[in-house]
Amino acid sequence: MKHLNELNEANGKMRRAAPFLFVLLAAFSFTACRKTPLPAGLFIYKEEDLFMRSLTADIQKEAEGRFPLVTYYSLDSQIIQNEQIEASLKSGAPLLIVNPVDRLGAHAVVNKLKALDIPVIFFNREPLEDDLRIWDKAWYVGARAEQSGRMQAELAMELFGENPHDLNEYDRNGDGAIQAVILKGEQGHQDAEIRTATVIKAFADEGYNLDVLSTEVANWNRDEGYERMDDLLDRFGEGIELVLSNNDAMALGAISIMRQRGIFKDTNGNRVIDKDDAKWIPVLGIDGVPDAVGHIKDGYLYGTVLNDSASMAQAIAELSLAILDGGIGDDFPYTVTDGKYIWIDYKTFTLE
Amino acid sequence: MKIRNRISLSIGQSILLSTMSIVSLVLLVSSFVYFMAFSARTNVLVENQSREINKQIVLNYESYIESIIETANYIQRFSLPLDLKTDYEQLQNLYTLNSQLKKDVVAIFLFNEEGLKLLGDRIGPLSRNYILSEPWFTGALSDPSIFHFLSSGKSSLAIDRKDEVISVAKQVNYIRGGISEIGVLLIELNFQVIRDLAEMTNLGPGGHILILDGGDALIYTSENPYELTDRSLDIAAEHVLGGLKTNIEGRNLFLNINTLAHTRWRIATLINIDEINAVRRSMLPVFLLIFAITMVTTTLVSIILSLRISLPVKQLQRIMLKIEQGAIDTEVSVKGQKEIVMLGHSFNSMIEKIRVLMDRVVNEQREKRKTELRALQNQINPHFLYNSLDSIVWLAEHERSEDVVTTVIALARFFRISISKGATFIPVSDEIDHVKNYLTIQSIRYVDKFTYSFDIDERLMSMNVMKLILQPLVENAIHHGLDEDGGVIEIRGRLEPGWMFFDVRNNGYGLTEKRIEEIQNYLEGMGEAGPGIGVGLRNVQQRLKLYYGENAGLRFSGHSDEDTIVTVIIPLAKDSAS
């Protein structure tokens, strides 16, 4: 009998506890239903790339608190990126933001995403237009490589007095032509080809006489920039009036050897290199990485064309939000060219 | 609440049953979990392995493609400063040398925008329109930023080469007479390279490599002859990218699709995973074996365990049963489990206590009896005293002074021996004297009514015997056993090894066997006395038993109508012999 009583008592406790349990359960299922949306996947071709690093940080900052994001670094391998994309899709990513390793690799990625009805934003490495056209929900956010070359040329033109027929004192030998060397990125690389071609074209378009002493391939690389510049200085010495680099890293490499060779001097002791020194050679980069900005402030690097990571990140975040919210509406703050492209303008950056 | 009827099990059975059920449950669950984990693990392993193989294959192709692109870039870089007009020889050398240097490069050409060959190996008589309509040519002109890879199954353009080639085309700038112009660089790769690279890997039975172009068309399959390719191609086209477990015509294959860098091509590897499944299947008998071994071991162990527990318990039970049946002196000595041994010890001490208690009770009872019997034995039949005194008076009246003296002396000695200073044991000689005194008195009282005789073994005389055991028998014989016409009472003392006997025989009617039985029963304290038996005999019997043990006592025998013999049986013990 005692047993029976205990049992009844226990039952009673259970009955009293039941509503409480129910509430708990309901609360749990409620939170389960309301759980945050699955994160979008952000794929960066390579973590070591300085520009990509700052761009990634900007995108993450923009996304913070607005939509969840998981970042993957693809170790400069399309195979790894493919694998990461597959894993991300498996985990239910509602959107992929891809900086492709291989422009053509985007072809298969777009096909795959179309099959799964997952939207994708490519950025900073442009897939072929045909590939982008395969899938309605594929966009590209980036800068036009042509613009960077042109803006780099404009910076130089400004320095040389803005008059193609009357160059100022920076035309050291006074021959009316600018003797330039070009440090080119990887041979065959889209950006390298375009930047090189457009910078030359911009001078020609404006009527400047640009005398390209040599175009050296330095593979985007600081060390190679150093070595190529070493050769160029051996070959042309003071005959060089302008160094045009396809990116900042190579420009910084060139600056290293130029500093060693005493090309940069601070005569008035204001801790900034003097442009007016007779031996000074202007160096122009593209990208605007933090290190380059520092070098501009010290006067070593004359200027750079800023691939505006902050603006690009902003555009990517806005586009992502719009996509996640159901599509690009009329109030979307960016111009979407051909329904596919959001172009981000380069900015120039000099000490002035 | 109802109490459920349970099958009552022995300790051994419960241990066996519970152990077996727990072990088998645990074993089943753990085997199941392990097998699932193993399966999952092998699945992951299979996938990872397949992915790695796929990656390796793709990397092989990729590094090859990269080397081709390097060649193209190399040519471009070196032709940058060269003018087609002035440096033709140098350029031509660059082209031919590079095509010869790389053994899988069949030929390298440069075409101008009009499809005219400018540099490279000799080509056959082809119309310019043919070149202009070639997909690699149009592709290169439409998108200058990439290399265009094309596999059309055609053979080389070079007149002296018949190899099937892959065309790699890129729009380039060349300088002709100081003017930069647009052209198309074409590198023809031997298709054999693709085969060679594919054959480097063994993908198991039915495993093969597919290479698909941007439009999902098959460029190459390593399968020869085609059996699964049609199906695998469909699956690869549908799946686009990534890994997938699939089954084609009964073969389990892991499909992996990856992009090939610098091209829109994809490489799909199909790897046979039946072998790994076979490994998984082979785990099953191992599990069964483990299961069986564990079950057998558990059974044995639990049987041993249950025996070790239940045997001492059974032993204990047996001993307890023995004790229950009266063998209280049995010592419990159980070996085995500590608890059981302790139980044995406790039981022992309990029994010990019981024994002590019982002994005490017995002793108390015996003491009580002794006191009682001493009182009995000290009791003097008042009738005897009265009768004796009466007969002394009678003798005195008849002036038989001699008889008075004899009687009084006998009476005095009778009482002296009766009292014996309170001793319980007296020498046999005294006991005999006692009887003689009694007979003297009685024979004077009942003149000529009976005669008596003694026949005592001399060796007995000095032995001690419990006092006052013969007199009641003689008294009994006189009162109940005598004939009207002169009775005879014979008192005999015999010594036999270990025993002392005293027979008191009287002639007379004798006793029937039935009567003897009745008397014997009465003496033991059961039944009625019946005529001819006094309290005195029972008193003697009880005292004998009390002092000499169960073997001692009175025995009635005799012949009907002839005589009656009452025998006192006393076992000889050391103390009574002295």
Mean of the per-residue pLDDT values of chain A: 87
Residue type (1 letter), B512 = T
CB atoms B145 and A193 under 8 Å: yes
Q: Which of A145-154, B41-50, B318-327, B446-455 has the lowest mean pLDDT?
A: B318-327
- Tell me what pLDDT residue B351 has: 82
Residue type (1 letter), A102 = D
Q: Give pLDDT tens digits for B188-198.
A: 999 998 888 88
- pLDDT of A337 strictly over 90: yes
% chain B with pLDDT above 90 = 16
CB atoms B242 and A82 under 8 Å: yes
Dist. CA A173–CA A166, nearest whole Å: 13
In this prediction, residues A288-300 reach a mean pLDDT of 89
- Tell me what pLDDT residue A241 has: 94
Collect all residues with Cβ–Cβ distance below 8 Å to B202 and sequence separation of at least 6. Answer: none
Which residue of chain B has the CA closest to A86?
A: B242
CB atoms B147 and A188 under 8 Å: yes
In this prediction, residues B358-372 reach a mean pLDDT of 82
Dist. CA A131–CA B324, nearest whole Å: 101
Q: Which of B16-25, B133-142, B236-245 has the lowest mean pLDDT?
A: B16-25
In this prediction, residues B302-318 reach a mean pLDDT of 81
In this prediction, residues B133-158 reach a mean pLDDT of 89
Which residue of chain B has the CA closest to A184?
A: B77
- Tell me what pLDDT residue B531 has: 61
- Tell me what pLDDT residue B549 has: 80
**Interface mutation vs chain B, best among A104, A125, A131, most B CBs within 10 Å:** A104
* Other residues' Cβ atoms within 10 Å of the Cβ of residue A71: 18
Question: Cα distance from B16 to chain A (closest Cα, Å)?
Answer: 29
**Coil, helix or strand at residue A164:** coil
Q: How confident is the model at residue B483 (pLDDT cuts 50, 70, 90)?
A: low
Taking the Cβ of residue A192 and every Cβ of chain B, the question of whether any pair is shorter than 8 Å is answered with: no
In this prediction, residues A328-336 reach a mean pLDDT of 88
- Tell me what pLDDT residue B282 has: 80
% chain B with pLDDT above 70 = 93
Spell out which residues of chain B touch residue A213, defining contact as CB-CB under 8 Å.
none
Which residue of chain B has the CA closest to A192?
A: B145
Taking the Cβ of residue A79 and every Cβ of chain B, the question of whether any pair is shorter than 8 Å is answered with: yes
Which residue of chain B has the CA closest to A80?
A: B55
Handedness of CA B66, B67, B69, B70 (dihedral sign): positive
Q: Give pLDDT tens digits for B521-556.
A: 777 766 665 665 667 787 788 778 877 888 888 888
Spell out which residues of chain B touch residue A83, defining contact as CB-CB under 8 Å.
51, 242
CB atoms B261 and A101 under 8 Å: yes
A/B interface, count of CB pairs below 8 Å: 75
- Tell me what pLDDT residue B485 has: 66
- Tell me what pLDDT residue A282 has: 94
Q: How confident is the model at residue A35 (pLDDT cuts 50, 70, 90)?
A: low
- pLDDT of B574 strictly over 70: no
In this prediction, residues B303-320 reach a mean pLDDT of 81
Residues 3-62 of chain A whose Cβ lies under 8 A from any Cβ of chain B: 3-4
Helix pair angle (B88-101, B11-79), 10° resolution: 160
- pLDDT of A5 strictly over 60: no
Question: Could you tell me which residue, B531 or B312, shows the higher pLDDT?
Answer: B312
Which residue of chain A has the CA closest to B69?
A: A188
Q: Give pLDDT tens digits for A199-227.
A: 999 999 999 999 999 999 998 989 999 99
Dist. CA B270–CA B267, nearest whole Å: 10
Strand-pairing partners, residue B253, are B246, B272
Q: Which of A105, A194, A217 sits opposite B261 (nearest CB)?
A: A105
- Tell me what pLDDT residue B376 has: 61
Dist. CA A282–CA A284, nearest whole Å: 7
- pLDDT of B419 strictly over 70: yes
CB atoms A78 and B259 under 8 Å: yes
**Interface mutation vs chain B, best among A7, A82, A90, A135, most B CBs within 10 Å:** A82
Q: Which of B58, B72, B146 sits opposite A104 (nearest CB)?
A: B146
Which residue of chain B has the CA closest to A89?
A: B242
- Burial class of A82 by CB neighbour count within 10 A (0 to 12, 13 to 18, 19+): buried
In this prediction, residues B74-91 reach a mean pLDDT of 88
- Burial class of B503 by CB neighbour count within 10 A (0 to 12, 13 to 18, 19+): middle
**Alpha helices in A207-247, H assignment, sequence order:** 222-236
Dist. CA B308–CA A197, nearest whole Å: 96
- Between the CA of residue B336 and those of B17, B303, B307, B318, B339, what are the distances in Å? 22, 15, 10, 15, 8
In this prediction, residues A127-152 reach a mean pLDDT of 93
Q: Which of B51, B238, B241 sits opposite A108 (nearest CB)?
A: B241
Q: Does residue B119 contact residue B99 with C-beta atoms inside 8 Å?
A: no
Q: How confident is the model at residue B8 (pLDDT cuts 50, 70, 90)?
A: confident
Question: Cα distance from B360 to chain A (closest Cα, Å)?
Answer: 45
Q: Give pLDDT tens digits for A39-51.
A: 999 999 999 887 8
Q: How confident is the model at residue B6 (pLDDT cuts 50, 70, 90)?
A: low
In this prediction, residues B35-57 reach a mean pLDDT of 86
In this prediction, residues B362-383 reach a mean pLDDT of 71
Question: Cα distance from B242 to chain A (closest Cα, Å)?
Answer: 6
Q: Which of A171-175, A301-305, B262-266, B377-381 has the lowest mean pLDDT?
A: B377-381
- Between the CA of residue B340 and those of A15, A128, B62, B303, B321, what are the distances in Å? 46, 89, 79, 18, 16
Question: Cα distance from B292 to chain A (closest Cα, Å)?
Answer: 41
- Tell me what pLDDT residue B377 has: 61
Question: Cα distance from A194 to chain B (closest Cα, Å)?
Answer: 9
- pLDDT of B335 strictly over 60: yes
Pairing of strands A40-44, A69-73: parallel
Spell out which residues of chain B touch residue A193, defining contact as CB-CB under 8 Å.
144-145
Question: Could you tell me which residue, A2 or B347, shows the higher pLDDT?
Answer: B347
- Tell me what pLDDT residue A231 has: 94
Q: Which of A105, A190, A215 sits opposite B259 (nearest CB)?
A: A105
Mean of the per-residue pLDDT values of chain B: 84
- pLDDT of B575 strictly over 60: no
CB atoms B77 and A187 under 8 Å: yes
pTM value is 0.63
Eight-class DSSP state of B532? T
Q: Give pLDDT tens digits for B19-36.
A: 888 888 888 888 888 888
CB atoms B261 and A131 under 8 Å: no
- pLDDT of A315 strictly over 80: yes
Q: Which of A78, A103, A187 sits opposite B146 (nearest CB)?
A: A103
In this prediction, residues B249-253 reach a mean pLDDT of 87
Q: Which of B308-312, B334-338, B463-467 has the lowest mean pLDDT?
A: B334-338
Spell out which residues of chain A touch residue B146, defining contact as CB-CB under 8 Å.
103-104, 128, 190
Please, which contacts does B295-298 make with residues 24 or more away whose CB atoms are closer than 8 Å? B295/B20, B295/B23, B295/B24, B295/B27, B298/B19, B298/B20, B298/B23
Q: How confident is the model at residue A30 (pLDDT cuts 50, 70, 90)?
A: very low
Residues of B with CB under 8 A from a CB of A: 1, 51, 55, 58-59, 62, 69, 72-73, 76-77, 80, 143-147, 170, 214, 238, 240-243, 257-259, 261-264, 266
Q: Which of A151-160, A209-218, B5-14, B529-538 has the lowest mean pLDDT?
A: B529-538
CB atoms A3 and B1 under 8 Å: yes
Spell out which residues of chain B touch residue A79, defining contact as CB-CB under 8 Å.
55, 58-59, 62, 258-259
Spell out which residues of chain A touch residue B259, defining contact as CB-CB under 8 Å.
78-79, 82, 102, 104-105, 107-109
Which residue of chain B has the CA closest to A215?
A: B80
Q: Which of A104, A111, A215 sits opposite B80 (nearest CB)?
A: A215
Question: Could you tell me which residue, B466 or A201, shows the higher pLDDT?
Answer: A201
- pLDDT of A32 strictly over 70: no
Q: Which of B73, B259, B266 sits opposite A188 (nearest CB)?
A: B73
- Tell me what pLDDT residue A334 has: 92
CB atoms A128 and B143 under 8 Å: yes
Q: Does residue A167 contact residue A229 with C-beta atoms inside 8 Å?
A: no
Q: Which of A168-172, A270-274, B207-211, B481-485 has the lowest mean pLDDT?
A: B481-485
Question: Could you tell me which residue, A218 or B1, shows the higher pLDDT?
Answer: A218
In this prediction, residues B173-197 reach a mean pLDDT of 89
- pLDDT of B290 strictly over 60: yes
Half-sphere exposure of A33 (CA within 13 A, CB side): 6
Dist. CA B240–CA A111, nearest whole Å: 7
In this prediction, residues B137-156 reach a mean pLDDT of 88
**Residue recorded with tokens 């190996």:** B121
- pLDDT of B452 strictly over 50: yes
Q: Which of B55, B69, B147 sits opposite A79 (nearest CB)?
A: B55
Taking the Cβ of residue A277 and every Cβ of chain B, the question of whether any pair is shorter than 8 Å is answered with: no
- Tell me what pLDDT residue A22 has: 52
Question: Cα distance from A282 to chain B (closest Cα, Å)?
Answer: 25
Question: Cα distance from B70 to chain A (closest Cα, Å)?
Answer: 9
Q: Give pLDDT tens digits for A255-279.
A: 999 999 989 988 888 888 888 888 8
- Tell me what pLDDT residue A270 has: 83
**Alpha helices in B125-217, H assignment, sequence order:** 128-133, 135-142, 192-198
Tokens representing A281? 């050679």
Q: Does residue A214 contact residue A247 with C-beta atoms inside 8 Å?
A: no
Q: Which of B1, B73, B264 sits opposite A104 (nearest CB)?
A: B264
Q: How confident is the model at residue B1 (pLDDT cuts 50, 70, 90)?
A: very low
- Tell me what pLDDT residue A14 has: 46
